[in-house]
A and B are shown apart, each in its own frame.
Chain A
Amino acid sequence: MAVTRRRHAPLDHQSAPAAAPQVVVIDRRPQATARTVALFAQVRRSSDRLARLDLVLFGAALLLSLIGALLVWSATRGRLIADGDDPQHFLVKHLINLILGLALAAVVVKVDYRVLRAYTPVVYGLVITSLLVVLTPVGTTINGAHAWISLPGGFTLQPGEFAKVAVILSMAMVLSERDLGREVPDARDVKFALAWAAGPMALIMLQPDLGTVLVIGSIVIGLLVASNVPARWVLALVAGVIAAAGLAILVGVLDQYQLDRLLTFLHPDTDPRGIGYNVAQARIAIGGGGLFGQGLFHGNQTQGAFVPYQQTDFVFSVAGEELGLLGAGFVILLVGVIIWRGMQIARTARDSFGRLVAIGVVCWFAFQAFENIGMNLGIMPVTGVPLPFVSYGGTSMFAGWVGIALLESVHLRSRE
């Protein structure tokens, strides 16, 4: 195959200049033609690549982002009008975040994921550095977590979002190292991989951002399961995590507010004016939506601004109240589509690294979406993770699209 391709290529290149001397008068034209042809070829190649993209995956993520824009708009419009601000402020920013996210994704797709593998330590190093910066006074505290870096112009960056990407890449790198030799990563590899994950997790726990740690934890476990390590190791790890969590609560590593949130999830009606307020109001909003919803911009709870953090953590409650079972169900369906396509991409990946990257992204999206929607529905504790693509928030949007780009990158270089 490779030989044939090489043979053809010089021919193509020779044929175009050969035609040039024939027509002297209009001597620029052949050159132009050659350029045009080259351009066309390039366009065809990129359109080929575009065509070879997983459009269903891309479409689902884009649709989620756009639905997110509407929901963010609806959740913030009333409050902004009441404060005398531009009612489209958050809508516009969400759309700008989407465009930036798409641009970032385009760059990532262009890079072969195997090239990315070589740069993994660089990405990892950047993430660790920024996580350290967050913990310094440069970092900003929002809602009790010291998780943000303020940038000039009112922008903020949340390095924890990119830590997910760093953990996926680094663990996939380690766990796929011996893929050609022995089939299964040995104990040393697993320890090594866990060490890579432990760094960012520890730093994020210090912020503290329990939600992101849980999401990364799900990625870790998903990658271990997918990389064929013995099942007992995985089970031992899960048991260890549970024990550590219990210990953390006993020792008091978790702040009171985090414990309160966990408690609230179990008994939301105990304190409807305090901690349980968010949960109770979100549930009322969703329950009030019914089959068809109260209509966009017409939800009582949403327009009355009863649900705090509704454009970020509780954006799903807007869908529940205003779009009803059909609209909110569609959001869940789109998440399901992304996960399904991600699984397909993992299955058809060219190599073990690609497969693990895809699995990592799938676990990330799946768990994060489950945690976010679950806390809106009152079946998961409130931990403050955004719903990918839908929640308002720049870094979350960028990271989400990087995740999609990684999947597409694996897909483009797949076996089939």
Chain B
Amino acid sequence: MKAVSGARRRDARLIVLQVLVVSLVATLFMRLAWMQTANGATYRQAASTGTVREVVVPAQRGLILDQVGRPLVANKSSIVVSVDRDVLNRQRDGGKAMLARLATELGTTADALTARMRPCGTKNALPQPLCWNGPATQPVVVAENVDTSVGLQLMEQTDELKGVHTQLQAVRSYPKTYGASLTHVAGYLGPMTQDEIKKSGHDLVGIDEQVGRAGLEAQYNSVLAGHAGVQKVALTRAGGVSTVLSDTPAVVGSNLVTSIDARLQGVVEQQLQQAITRSKKAGNKADSGSIIVMEPSTGRILAMASWPTYDPQIWVGGISSHDYKALTDPKQGTPLLNRAIQGLYAPASTFKAITTAAAVRAGYSTSGSYECPSTYNVGGQIFNNYESEAFGSISLAKALAVSCDTVFYKLAHQMWLKDGGLNPKGEPNEFVVNEAKSFGLGQETGIDLPDESKGKVVSRATKQTDYAELKDVYCKRAKDGYPELADQERAKLLQSYASDYCAEGASYRAGDALNTAIGQGDTQVTPLQMLTAYSAIANGGSLMQPQIAKAVVSADGTVTREFDPVKNGEVKASAATLDYLRSALSDTVVSGTAHNAFLGFPHSEVSVALKTGTAEVVGKGSTAWIESFAPSQNAKFAVGCTISQGGTGAEACGPSVRAIYEALFGVKDGHASSDRSILSGGDVSSKIPTETVGQN
């Protein structure tokens, strides 16, 4: 009995076990079937996201060409080394050994490489151009412009350096055709920021996706950049590509044809450097400057240079923090700034052409004669004749040519009094201020370059709005002084300024009017604004919008867009006044302030209309100016030169401006010849080049 029940129980137990075991097997099978059929789609989706990666193939950027198709900014191949962080993290030591090895090959330290891999904005990340701001899934660029021999060595060590990609990539190159580097105008490239990546719509950006950050590169980024290609590839876990699933090829960016002439640009850059050197030799600080050449009839820029300058090559491959500091350091003159459009200076005597036009409009006769004493007295305050000696009674034209301050003081004072002086009744005429505005001062010229400065022209109205804004601060300072300053004397001086401003900062005083008339005081202009104004004198009154881009030519040579000249307005001065100015200004080089600088120049063949300027700056050296155009009638070229703390305009800028005209008109041995001109045919090319040409 017992045995039977025991055997039965034994069997029962076996059945229990069997049921358990069979249910385990059944569970597995049901789970498998569910995963592979009912739920399969979900996993297949996951499979494709896990193994497929979108690789962005950067499009080659278009070139920046000069007016006849010579490359100013081109491309070259560079070896770029990037590191896949996924692969690195999967290694046992977190990739330490591999990074150390890579660092040795690249001649740097593992720490430096790790630093470059930190995403922007995280702890210990490098400053903006150097930190990594690409997506986390993309390999991080750790070195560019790698030496070919080093690159080849890296490519041979794919086993030891897993996750390290060594690739050829197009980067910017600067051929310096005819010595033209066009640094400030061309601008530079920098990596996209996270915000820009978000805005661009595609979240996957190729390694080292660069965008224009300044100059033409920024202004015409969409033209130059082209469209990046997207390659969908199936990846192996080690990061290798197993198959290419789809391939949208990259579209090469279009070329930008500019009105810059490489040969002329080369000469201008050289002449600017010489002007600086010359000025320094004469004992001036000469801390910055610019020279611009423009076509007055169209506003096209033929050359534009700014000093201090730098080698644009330093941007290629990511600028080092040391270099970036140097570019933005005010002690080194902030070489990053384009003085031609961003430098603000008092226009000095170059402004007198505008004052003359205003005076004529106010009713002063061009045939009258005006006293040029050595000083001018306004209510006991003495205003000196800075640039010239006393000339006695002279014409307005002569006053311009010899740059007699006192003539313009008197005109300005009288006009100021006519407007009601300190207490104007009704709407004041403000001839000078309005004339200046009509010549484009105090507003952007609209040149196709980013971050242009506006400058300012001070009128009664702007004085009042400024005062309303600043009154509280200055009046408080007038009361409390500047206790935070250690320098007692300076603190006192500042306090007296503050109390003056607090008391009568809103009023447009006679001194303001006088200073404005000779281009001193609060008026601030950019070199480009001034040249645009002189171009208007040259072309008969049209305020042209300065323009660098001439056309967009696609990679296959089709002209896809042409930039026509744009007229921003008309100056207030009449045609007769402008004609008077042109002939008056053409005397400067013959018998005026630039007489010495243009000795031996073939004036009979090429008549240059020119105005010098020497702006007084409180506590600093004076700003040297020349604004000019030639021929004085039907001008083909306008040349402007500005040297900050450069001494007199004639001495600092004169020889350089002359050299540029000689190059433009082919002057040699006292004779001009269009055959010898630096521009082929002696003129601006009217054709749009559809292919690039080399230096010839």
Contact = CB atoms under 8 A, between A and B. Distances in A.
Interface of A: 78, 82-84, 183-184, 222, 225-226, 228, 273, 280-281, 283-291, 300-301, 303-306, 320, 324-325, 328-329, 332-333, 335-336, 339-340, 343, 346-347, 355, 359, 362-363, 366-367, 369-370, 373-374, 377-379
B32 A320 contact: yes
B232 to A, nearest CB: 14
Given A183-B3, A304-B234, A325-B32, A366 B50 contact: no
A346 B27 CA distance: 23
Contacts of B417: none
Contacts of A339: 21-22, 25
Of B9, B24, B39, the most chain A CB neighbours within 10 A belong to B24
Interface stretch (B41-49, B218-226, B468-476, B480-488): B41-49
Contacts of A228: 6, 9-10, 13
B6 A332 contact: no
A78 B236 CA distance: 10
A198 B28 CA distance: 29
Given A303-B242, A332-B25, A325 B50 contact: no
Contact of A325 (B18, B33, B237, B240): B33
Interface in B15-57: 16-18, 21-22, 24-25, 27-29, 31-33, 35-37, 39-40, 42-44, 46-47, 50-51
B159 interface: yes
B255 to A, nearest CB: 41
A379 B27 contact: yes
B24 A225 contact: no
B27 A329 contact: no
B51 A301 contact: yes
A369 B27 CA distance: 12
Contact of A366 (B21, B36, B86): B21
State the majority secondary structure of interface residues on B.
Answer: helix
B32 A82 contact: no
Interface string B87-110: 001000000000000000000000
Interface in B159-215: 159
A173 to B, nearest CB: 18
Contacts of B150: none
Interface in B418-445: none
B314 interface: no
Given A228-B9, A325-B36, A287 B47 contact: yes
A362 B18 CA distance: 9
Contacts of B31: 374, 377, 379
A217 to B, nearest CB: 14
9 contacts: A283-B35, A288-B43, A290-B36, A306-B236, A336-B25, A339-B21, A339-B22, A343-B14, A370-B25
Given A78-B236, A291-B36, A366-B21, A304 B242 contact: yes
Contact of B6 (A184, A300, A340, A359): A184
Contacts of B36: 286-287, 289-291, 320, 324-325, 328
Contacts of B27: 370, 374, 379
Given A284-B50, A304-B234, A304-B242, A347 B14 contact: yes
A369 B2 CA distance: 37
B138 to A, nearest CB: 15
Contacts of A290: 36-37, 40, 44
Contacts of A328: 32, 36
B503 interface: no
A289 B14 CA distance: 36
Nearest to A226: B13
A82 B35 CA distance: 31
B51 A304 contact: yes
A335 B240 contact: no
Contacts of A363: 17, 21
Contacts of A283: 35, 43, 46
B238 interface: yes
A303 B234 CA distance: 11
B21 A332 contact: no
State the majority secondary structure of interface residues on A.
Answer: helix
B25 A303 contact: no
B393 to A, nearest CB: 89
A227 to B, nearest CB: 8
Contacts of B29: 329, 332-333
Interface in B224-273: 234-238, 240, 242
A378 B3 CA distance: 45
Given A83-B159, A183-B2, A183-B6, A287 B234 contact: no
Given A335-B25, A336-B22, A373-B28, A226 B17 contact: yes
A184 B234 CA distance: 62
Given A286-B32, A355-B10, 10 more contacts: A287-B46, A304-B237, A305-B236, A325-B32, A339-B25, A369-B25, A370-B24, A374-B27, A374-B28, A379-B27
A374 B28 CA distance: 7
Contact of B37 (A291, A336, A359): A291
A288 B24 contact: no
Interface string B45-87: 0110011000000000000000000000000000000000010
Contacts of B240: 82
A225 B27 CA distance: 21
A359 B16 CA distance: 12
Contact of B16 (A225, A301, A320, A324): A225
B3 A359 contact: no
A343 B18 CA distance: 7
A20 B679 CA distance: 128
B3 A287 contact: no
Nearest to A83: B159
Of B47, B237, B238, the most chain A CB neighbours within 10 A belong to B47
A306 B25 contact: no
A283 B2 CA distance: 52
B35 A286 contact: yes
Contact of B236 (A82, A83, A366): A82
Q: List 9 A-B pairs, minimum CB-CB distance, nearest first.
A: A287-B43, A183-B6, A288-B47, A304-B236, A370-B24, A305-B237, A366-B21, A336-B25, A325-B36
A300 B42 contact: no
A328 B40 CA distance: 14
B40 to A, nearest CB: 5
Nearest to B11: A347
Contacts of B35: 283, 286-287, 320, 377-378
Contacts of A306: 50-51, 236-237
A10 to B, nearest CB: 38
Nearest to A183: B6
A363 B50 CA distance: 37
A305 B24 contact: no
Contact of A346 (B14, B32, B234): B14
A332 B238 CA distance: 31
Of B21, B22, B238, B242, the most chain A CB neighbours within 10 A belong to B21
A219 to B, nearest CB: 12
A301 B44 CA distance: 11
Contacts of B42: 287
Of A83, A184, A287, A367, the most chain B CB neighbours within 10 A belong to A287
Contacts of A301: 47, 50-51
A96 B694 CA distance: 70
B35 to A, nearest CB: 5
A286 B35 CA distance: 7
Contacts of A355: 10
B154 to A, nearest CB: 18
Interface string B387-400: 00000000000000
A295 to B, nearest CB: 15
Contacts of B242: 303-304
Contacts of A367: 24
B605 to A, nearest CB: 77
A378 B27 CA distance: 12
Contacts of B6: 183-184, 228
Given A287-B39, A300-B47, A366 B25 contact: yes
